[in-house]
């Protein structure tokens, strides 16, 4: 059995081994990922791949708590990260109240919040009050409407410097790990070199301290669209459809159930 990671072992892993994060939203998949992935992220991406919405914005704190509980049940031995959904950490007071709600109602090991310099005071407030925080910088899915779309970051030096500032600000505020999304690879590499905490990339190239993928993307289960940064390790949708079609055929021609499936 793999040893459950702790904040200290996560931080010690930097420059020693690459870290693997994957999302999960239920106990079934969480159990499959247990003892393989280093951490499980209960991402607000569940609003898209699980709830069928077009973006993450309408995910609620209660939904995140429900799914985090399911994941913690399925993967009792894995470090679990609960995403704070859009609109739940706008002020220090609100952020602390909502993060405490997550801690009191789930076994999540930390929360994740999107933002850099503009959210450093929130990160500090949570960390000062005993809540572990994983930051999230670069392309921020919760800001996509405000920014007029999902935009890759770090395309010029000004943008690169601002991402590095973001990373340094949330590290100083107490974030023990940082997810960096949708950033030019050379900029993500600079970020990883500029901070002491592990930097976990998604669409940010290989020169960071680990990777995160949404499980339904990498298993090929989500068919709506496939971002450039996703590698499909399984053609899950075809496998599932093929299995269900064979089941239907066998129901229709009465070749299922057989004697071995019958009492």
For the CB of residue 48, give the shortest distance to ligand KIV in the complex, in Å.
Answer: 9
Q: How far is C-alpha 135 from the chain's CA centre?
A: 11
Show the site string, 161-180: x = touches ligand KIV by CB under 6 A, - = not.
------------------x-
Among 5, 14, 19, 23, binds ligand KIV (CB under 6 A): 23
Residue 41 binds to ligand KIV (criterion: CB under 6 A): yes
Q: CA 8 to CA 32: how far, in whole Å? A: 25
For the CB of residue 242, give the shortest distance to ligand KIV in the complex, in Å.
Answer: 27
CB contact at 8 A, 171 and 197 = yes
Residue from 213, 238, 216 nearest 225 by CA: 216
For the CB of residue 203, give the shortest distance to ligand KIV in the complex, in Å.
Answer: 9
Q: List helix spans (H) across the chain.
A: 7-12, 27-33, 46-49, 61-74, 92-105, 120-128, 144-147, 157-173, 185-194, 215-218, 236-252
Catalytic residue among 34, 114, 181, 223: 181
And the tokens for 180?
């960096």
Q: How many CB atoms lie within 10 A of CB 101?
A: 15
For the CB of residue 88, give the shortest distance to ligand KIV in the complex, in Å.
Answer: 14
158 given a catalytic annotation: no
Stretch that binds ligand KIV, among 3-11, 37-45, 156-164, 184-192 (CB under 6 A): 37-45
**DSSP category for residue 84:** P
Residue 197 binds to ligand KIV (criterion: CB under 6 A): no
Residue 44 binds to ligand KIV (criterion: CB under 6 A): yes
Q: In the complex with ligand KIV, which residue's Cβ is closer, 167 or 249?
A: 167
CB contact at 8 A, 132 and 80 = no
Show the site string, 113-152: x = touches ligand KIV by CB under 6 A, - = not.
----------------------------------------
Residue 202 binds to ligand KIV (criterion: CB under 6 A): yes
Residue 38 binds to ligand KIV (criterion: CB under 6 A): no
Q: CA 86 to CA 114: how far, in whole Å? A: 9
DSSP codes of every residue in 172-216: HHT-SEEEEESB-HHHHHHHHHH-SS-EEEESS-SSSSEEEE-HH
For the CB of residue 230, give the shortest distance to ligand KIV in the complex, in Å.
Answer: 10
Residues in the site for ligand KIV, rule: CB under 6 A?
A: 23, 41, 43-45, 83, 179, 181, 202, 212, 214
Q: Which residues are catalytic?
A: 181
């Amino acid at each position: 059995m793999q040893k459950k990671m702790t904040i200290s072992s996560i931080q010690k892993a930097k420059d020693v081994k690459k870290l693997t994060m994957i999302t999960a939203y239920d106990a079934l998949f969480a159990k499959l990922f247990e003892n393989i992935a280093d951490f499980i992220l209960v991402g607000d991406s569940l609003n898209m791949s699980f709830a069928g919405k077009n973006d993450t914005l309408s995910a609620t704190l209660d939904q995140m708590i429900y799914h985090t509980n399911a994941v913690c049940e399925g993967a009792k031995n894995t470090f679990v990260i609960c995403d704070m959904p859009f609109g739940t950490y706008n002020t220090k007071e609100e952020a602390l109240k909502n993060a405490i709600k997550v801690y009191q109602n789930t076994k999540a090991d930390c929360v994740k919040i999107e933002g850099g310099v503009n959210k450093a005071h929130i990160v500090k407030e949570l960390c000062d009050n005993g809540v572990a925080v994983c930051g999230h910088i670069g392309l921020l899915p919760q800001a996509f409407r405000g920014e007029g779309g999902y935009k890759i970051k770090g395309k010029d030096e000004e943008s690169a410097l601002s991402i590095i500032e973001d990373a340094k600000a949330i590290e100083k505020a107490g974030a023990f790990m940082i997810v960096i999304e949708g950033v030019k690879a050379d900029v993500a590499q600079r970020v990883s070199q500029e901070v002491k905490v592990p930097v976990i990339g998604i669409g940010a190239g290989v020169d960071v301290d680990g990777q995160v993928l949404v499980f339904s993307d990498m298993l090929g289960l989500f068919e709506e669209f496939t971002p450039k940064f996703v590698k499909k390790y399984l053609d899950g949708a075809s496998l599932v459809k093929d299995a269900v079609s064979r089941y239907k055929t066998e129901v229709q021609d009465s070749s299922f159930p057989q004697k071995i499936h019958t009492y």
